[in-house]
Each structure stands twice: as C-alpha cells, then as structure tokens.
Amino acid sequence: MLYPESPIFIYEFEGELEGRLHNPPSAFLGLWNEEGFSYLFFASKEDVYVSELSRATGIRLGASHEMAYRDWQTGVPREGISLGGVLIVRPDNPNPPADALLLDPSVVFGDGDHPTTKACLEYFRAINGEVHIDTVLDLGTGTGILGLVAARLGVRRVLAVDRNILAVQTAKENVKRNSLDDVITVFLGEARHYVHEPFDLVFANLPFSILRDILTARGLVPQRRWIVSGVDERQARVLQDILLEAGYAIVKERFDRPWATFVAVLSPLGYRT
C-alpha cells in the first residue's frame, strides 16, 4: 500500500488504453479512464515502459507528473478514522479491532477524509437508526467506502457501481479484504444503467451533470431514499426541485461549503413520472 511519503508517477494518454496493457511492470498501480483519456499510475518512474506502450498502441503520451502520495490525497491515518460509527483502519494495522473496516484507497477517491463522504455516512447512520435499510445502491463507489460502512452496519445487499476501471479494482479488493463478498457486488459501468430496480437507499455522491441525467432519465425506477452529495448549493437546489416534482420530500440538508449534501425520501403519495 501507499504511505504519505510514497512517490507516485502519473502518465496521461490521449486515448483509451483499457485492454491494451501487456505485462505492465510490478510498480503499476492501475489505469484511470475518464472522458477518453487514460491515466497510468506507478509507484516508480516508468518512462521506458510508457514510451514503448505509446508506440505500440499509437496513442499519444501527453503530460507526466511525479508527486508524493500525500499531495494526491490524505490516505487513511495511522490511527484510523471513525465514520458513521465504524472505525476504518489501514490494512497494515497490526491489531485492528474485530469490527473495524480495512481500507486501502490506493489512488482512488474515498479515503474517508472528504466532507461529502463524512456527510453521506453521518446521514446514513441517522437513517439506519430510524428505519431498517436492507438494500443499498452505491453510485460512483470509488474505493467502496460508503457501501463498506453500510454493509458493516447491517445492510444485507449492496450494489456498488463505478465507471472507472481503477475504482472498480480498488473497491473489489477492499470488499475482499473485509470478507464482504456475499454482501457487496461491484460493477464497472455507467451509474444510469443501474437504477432499474428499487433500493431502500441510494448513495449518489457524483458530479452534478451525472446526477441530473440520472434523475431526469425516462423510466427511472422510484427509490425510497436518496443521499445526494458531490454538488454545490446552487446545483443541489436544481436537483432538489427535480426530486420534489417527482414526489420526494427533502428531509435533511447540510452545507460544508462548497459542498452540499441532502436526503430525499419518497412521499407517501408515491412517485410521479
């Protein structure tokens, strides 16, 4: 795993490299794909490998970056972090409590430090204390942190989705190291393709444009509760109006500026298309 002082090396390719990597070096951390670009992460400098990869695939190598892991993200602190009433520790913890979650975020979003993660899990803990949450859909799962905490708090089934290859790989590894394979299933794909069945609760910590597209999609199956985050206050108001029009009530909201998080619950009158 990576430590605060660990170096990371990032190479940006102007094209899709999924399925085109052959015999990557042992320092390879993963492939991050986004908007037609590919970002390769390594634990050591690999100029020769990436140059040969560019020639072999015909995909242009753009910028490269070198930094300390601490400059990429915080990472799980040595003493662990408590989120939603669950202690999260690093996999190298020599004596983790029996009910702790082991989390290695690698270079993926979701180490527990971000305000949106904390807000989502605080709301989940409060909701789960009032009503039993049996099924959860985690859209944009990242490291899997939201689904992992939900599973530890008693959720029977979690469907976790991310369109990023490295996020899916990281989430699957975190699920496995916590022996939660029978509860959490991780899929690679677009979030909008996984709202075709009802869940007790949906985590949607995603960019505004993706959330808006999901909430306005034709044939969206009504979900009992949404915990929405990853947007600012203005964007949150737009999303809330969409949900209100569809028959939801906004029951909780908080602002950790610039971030907004809110909870929407399907009203007793039901869903309106």
Ranges of CATH 3.40.50.150 domains, the chain = 109-266
Q: Which amino acid is at 43?
A: A
Ranges of CATH 3.30.70 domains, the chain = 7-72
Residue 272: what pLDDT?
54
| pLDDT at position 269 over 80 | no
Q: Taking residues 178-184, what's their average pLDDT?
A: 98
Q: Taking residues 254-264, what's their average pLDDT?
A: 97
Strand 61-68 to strand 7-13: parallel, antiparallel, or no bridges (unpaired)? antiparallel
Q: Which amino acid is at 49?
A: Y
Q: Which is nearest to 125 in space by CA: 97, 149, 161, 109?
A: 149
Residue 270: what pLDDT?
58
Q: What is the pLDDT of residues 19-75, one digit of tens each?
A: 999 899 999 999 999 889 999 999 999 999 999 999 999 999 999 999 999 999 989
> Percent of the chain at pLDDT above 90?
91
More confident residue, 130 or 273: 130
Q: How far apart are CA 164 and CA 250, in angstroms?
A: 30
Q: Which amino acid is at 94?
A: P
Lowest-confidence region among 44-53, 202-211, 262-271: 262-271
Instruction: For 243, list phi and psi in degrees, rounded to 5.
Output: -70, -40
Angle at 200 between CA 194 and CA 205, to 5 degrees: 55
Strand 101-102 to strand 86-89: parallel, antiparallel, or no bridges (unpaired)? parallel
Contact 215, 148 (CB under 8 A): no
Class of domain 7-72: alpha beta
Contact 7, 67 (CB under 8 A): yes
| pLDDT at position 257 over 90 | yes
pLDDT band at 273 (very low <50, low <70, confident <90, very high): very low
Q: What is the pLDDT of residues 72-129, one digit of tens each?
A: 998 999 899 999 999 999 999 999 999 999 999 999 999 999 999 999 999 999 999 9
Contact 38, 103 (CB under 8 A): no
pLDDT band at 247 (very low <50, low <70, confident <90, very high): very high
pTM: 0.93
SS3 of residue 54 by DSSP: helix
Q: Which amino acid is at 96?
A: P
- CATH architecture observed for domain 109-266: 3-Layer(aba) Sandwich (3.40)
